[in-house]
Structure 1
Amino acid sequence: MKLYFKQRFFSWFDSYDIYGQDGSVLFTVEGQLSWGHTLHILNARGEHIATVKQVVLTFLPKFEFYIGEQYVGMLQKEFSFLQPRYNIDFNGWHVEGNWLEWDYQIQRADGSPAAVIAKELFNWTDTYTIETEYDRDALCALMVVLAIDAEKCSRN
């Protein structure tokens, strides 16, 4: 499955539309005014299905993942030079990015790829493609991308 993750052009809070290959909106992400990032993921019918929430007052940025109201894992930035690294306690996944922080790979515990994330250049807003082998991984990969994007946004 291939998703296109695009930040809305004029938005006071973090808000994104996530499109399928046919151009239809599969998910909508709405930011909430709070201390730290809180991102609510809605399905195509506008129903809340997941949340990515930044934990404040931590040495390195940390984000918790919820599907519905149930905690399912977290992602925390690791201290590293040149290549961004993240400690992830979510689906047995591992995340690594390139030194420009534009492209990422999410790997399963067995080393097989769960998702490939690439930033598209020359767009007015943040735009990423998310490719997953299985449709069931799309929501989870989206949550990881949202956390990484929010972490980068916090630094700027």
Structure 2
Amino acid sequence: MRLMFKQRFFSWFDSYDIYDENGTAVYTVCGRQAWGHKLEIYDNSGNPLATLREQVLTFLPRFAIQIGGETVGTITKDFTFFKPSFSVDCNGWHVEGSFLEWDYSIISQTGSVVARIEKQLFHFTDTYLIDVADGQDSLLALMVVLAIDAVKCSKNKG
């Protein structure tokens, strides 16, 4: 399953539209006012699915994952020098980034590729392509991309 993650051009808070390979909107992400990033994910009918909330006052960036109103785990940026990486503690995924921080791979505990994330250059807003091996992993893979984008956004502001 291929998703296109596209930040809205004019938006007060972080807002994104997520499209499938046919150009159909499958998710909408709305940023909410909070201390740190708070991103709510809705399906194409406007039903709430999940929330990604930055946990503040931590040494490295960390985000709580809430699905269906229940906290299921965290996404944490790992301490690295050259290539960014993240850990997802609810299922053992590990995220490895490229040196330029444009491309990422989500790797399962068994070493298989769950998803590939590719930043699209030459767009006015942040745009990513997400190739997910199993469509059932698309929501959590999207949350990983949101966390990566939030970390990059915070780094560019500071």
Q: Secondary structure at the match of 1:111?
A: coil
Number of the residue aligned with 2:153: 153
Number of the residue aligned with 1:76: 76
Match status 1:130 vs 2:127: no
The Cα offsets for residues 16-39 of structure 1, whole Å up to 9 and x where unpaired, read as: 000011111000000001110000
Distance in 1 of aligned mates of 2:103 and 2:20: 19
1:88, CA displacement in angstroms? 2.3
1:53, CA displacement in angstroms? 0.4
The Cα offsets for residues 10-61 of structure 1, whole Å up to 9 and x where unpaired, read as: 1110000000111110000000011100000000000100000000111111
Match status 1:34 vs 2:34: yes
Number of the residue aligned with 1:24: 24
1:76, CA displacement in angstroms? 1.2
Letter in 2 for 1:117: I
Number of the residue aligned with 1:3: 3
Distance in 1 of aligned mates of 2:14 and 2:57: 20
Letter in 1 for 2:132: T
Distance in 2 of aligned mates of 1:90 and 1:129: 23
CA RMSD of aligned residues (A): 0.8
Distance in 2 of aligned mates of 1:139 and 1:77: 19
Letter in 1 for 2:106: I
Tell me, yes or no, if the aligned pair for 2:97 and 2:105 is still in contact at 8 Å.
yes
TM-score w.r.t. length of structure 2: 0.96
TM-score w.r.t. length of structure 1: 0.98
- Which aligned runs of 4 or more in structure 1 are off by greater than 4 angstroms? none
1:87, CA displacement in angstroms? 2.8
Distance in 2 of aligned mates of 1:71 and 1:129: 26
Letter in 1 for 2:145: V
Match status 1:67 vs 2:64: no
Distance in 2 of aligned mates of 1:137 and 1:128: 17
Stretches of structure 2 that go unaligned for 5 or more consecutive residues are none
The Cα offsets for residues 52-99 of structure 1, whole Å up to 9 and x where unpaired, read as: 000011111110111111111111112211101223213221111001
Letter in 2 for 1:128: Y
Bigger Cα displacement from structure 2, 84-93 vs 28-37: 84-93
Q: Secondary structure at the match of 2:36?
A: coil
Tell me, yes or no, if the aligned pair for 2:85 and 2:94 is still in contact at 8 Å.
no
Stretches of structure 1 that go unaligned for 5 or more consecutive residues are none
